[in-house]
Structure 1
Amino acid sequence: MAQILTKAQAEAVYSAMCALNNVNALISAFIRTDSGKFIEIHDEGNGIALWSKEVDLPGKETHADQSAFAAAYGLQTGD
């Protein structure tokens, strides 16, 4: 599956998700790319969705939960 985020972006997003878990909150964020476009990231409690309008990136990416997101990007989850 093509991925929207770089590894560094995914690490930052995952870190923010984990921090938000500590206060019972979900992430809803935008990442600005080098070309000035935005990637949207939303965790609605029933999955994580990412959208991009970048020409060279896939348009949408979804993950069942935070663990699936971490696995897709090869992030260590400490489990």
Structure 2
Amino acid sequence: MAALDQLTARRREVLLLIAEAHTNAEIAARLGIGDETVKTHVSRILTRLDLRDRVHAVAYAHVRGIVKRKPR
């Protein structure tokens, strides 16, 4: 979890929303920030966690329990 600790609370929030399959536009609207800001957050998340792309970020979030499974 040490790598995850490098993220700000906002970036952890963006990571969760990415893992829940939200688009950049949806994340921007939900958090009240601009699309470019979301792109910056995504880029920094990938860099800090040494992830290749959004798909890798989704897997990372699920494996580490960042995303809680919703009951069926």
TM-score (norm. length: structure 1) = 0.36
Higher strand share: 1
Q: Larger RCO: Structure 1 or Structure 2 (Cα < 8 Å, ≥ 6 residues apart)?
A: 2
Higher helix share: 2
